Every structure is written in C-alpha cells, then in structure tokens.
Amino acid sequence: MLFLSINTKKFAVLPRLFRNIVSKLKIFYMMVCTHFISMKKKDILDFIGKTGFIIPILVTVFFTFFMVQLVLFSFNKEELKLPLPSGEGIFAIIANISLFISIAIVAIALIYLSKKVQRSENAHNIFIIIYLIVGTILVLLFGKQFFNVPANTMPLIYVFFGSLAYLGFYSIYLIVMDILPERLKNFIFIIYSSIIGIYLGISLPATSTIAIILALSFVDLFWVYYKLRNHETNEPLEKFMVIVKYPNIMWGIGLGDLTCYALLVTCSFMNFGVINSLVSIILILAGSVFSMREAEKHNYFPGLPLSTGLGLIPIFLGSVMAIS
C-alpha cells in the first residue's frame, strides 16, 4: 500500500493563503485515504460495480479523440468521407435523418422479429457478422490512409490496424463457431463503434449531425418507454451490447450509443476544435453517469437523450457562433 505524507512546514515561506490551501488539501487527502482504508471488501466491490460502466464510454470517446487527431494531421479527410449527403441545406438534413431513422427502425424490427423465429440465435449472429464485416472494411480503409503519408515513421500503426482487421475476421469465425469470448466481443465492439462514428463524423456536416442525434435520441426514448410499459427484458439485445460484468452487477451499453458518442466527439473536433471536443466529452460522461444511475433504478434507461443532449451543447453553440 502506498501512502503520501505532506509536511506543511516546508511551505512556511509561501504566502499564508497558499499554506492554508495546502493544509486543507492535506486534510481532505487524509479523509479520503481513511475512508478507503476503512471500506470493507464488499463496499469496494459495490463502488467498482457502480462506476465500472464508464470504462467502455471512456475508451470510446478518448480513442475517438486520438484517432481524429491523426485524421487532421496525417490524412486528407476527403478520402475518408462516406457517400452521404454532405450539404448544409434542408434537403441534405432530411435525407440524412431519413436514412439513419430507417436503419434504426429496420434494426429494431428485425431484432424483435427474430425473437419469434425458432432459430433467433442464428438471426442475431447474422446481424453481428454484418456489423463486423462493415467495421473491418472501414478499419482497413482507415489504415490504408497511412500509406499515403510521406516519410511515415509510425510502423506500429500498421501493426495496430492490421491486428484490428485480423481480430474482426477472427471474431466472425468465433461467432460462426459460437465461441466468441465476452472480452474480445467488448473490445471489438468498442473499437469498431469508434471507427464507424469517426467515418460518420467526417462525412456529415454539423447541422445533419445535430438533427440525426436528436432524432435517434427520440427513437431511443420511445423504444425504452415501450419496453418499460410492456415489461420487456434486455435479454435479446445483450448480443448487441458491450457487457461489463462485476460480482454484484452487470452493465450493458448499446452499440448505437457508443457509435453516437464517437460521432459527437468527431463532429465537435472536426468542426470546432480541441477545446470544444473536450467539453463535449466531459458533458457526455456527465450525462452517462446520470443515465446509468437511472438505469440502476429501472433496469434500463435510454442512453442517448441525456448524454448526447449535453454533448451537443458545444456543437450547437459553435454552429450558432459560426452562423452569426
């Protein structure tokens, strides 16, 4: 066990205000240390279980933040754009909203229809395989951009993206054999959600991003309300979630939620800069904490409305300031 002792006598030459601050920090530090030392093993496990949900979200947003910097400093972002309507006009916004709402509705309908099919397990696996194929292709295209960077001195990047692509194809094989480990599934889902979110954030203008996330948040809210009203469980959806398990609790975070978080961070960074993006990340995490607290009370809670609503504030303000 490591312990830190602070001797305030060393600060005698410093101004009184600063010495008072150091003294109060010492008292606070000692209280925190005493609290954690006095905690029982069960209390520690409860604390970890109630806060561990944030790990997949943290990894997603900060991995996205790091990769977007590579895009800005190393790539021509035009080469990474997907064939989506990219204008700022009302037609492009409506087209993008219609596309993503249609995808969400079709996915929800297929998931629920698969519950009525005798071999619903196979139907779920097919959806995940399609997701992994799309994600692996995007990972390969993302890594390919490094070959276009002159005098590249980052050979580990090739190894990183090659390993991700290999894990994607290997995961497909493990799904077919029905032996995909939970940890590998979580890792692939987090990274692939980030990559897909980055592509969407690069391809979509800020106005379309705001409109799409608001629309998807409404769909998420309606869907969870429907599930609560009909007393349905999340069991059919666990295959499409990043599952975080602890001895006393289990958290599930949807692929769509992680992808939207990555989309928000990318849009904020690409359009309004580092500070704006960091503020979005902090607000997303704050909204996620509240959402998970509510999920603890009701078994599940919509992951998009609050987290993305807060995360959109810097983007919305940046868009207003750009127009004015």
| 72 contacts 202 by C-beta, under 8 angstroms | no
Q: Where are the domains of the chain?
A: 54-323
Helices (H) and strands (E) in the chain, counts: 11, 2
Question: Which two three-digit tokens encode residue 109?
Answer: 């309908």
The tokens describing 255, both together, are 């692929």
Tens-digit pLDDT profile for the chain (324 aa)? Answer: 433 444 444 444 445 655 666 566 666 666 666 655 555 555 554 555 556 678 888 899 999 999 888 877 766 667 777 777 766 677 777 887 888 888 777 777 766 666 665 555 666 777 888 888 988 988 888 877 776 655 455 677 778 888 888 988 998 888 888 788 888 888 898 999 999 999 888 888 888 888 889 888 888 888 777 766 665 655 556 677 777 766 566 777 888 889 999 999 999 998 888 899 999 999 999 888 888 877 777 677 778 888 998 999 988 888 777 766
What DSSP element (H or E) covers 243? strand 241-246
How many C-beta neighbours within 10 Å does residue 49 have?
Answer: 18
Residue 100 to residues 71, 109, 193, 219: CA-CA distances in angstroms?
Answer: 24, 14, 15, 11
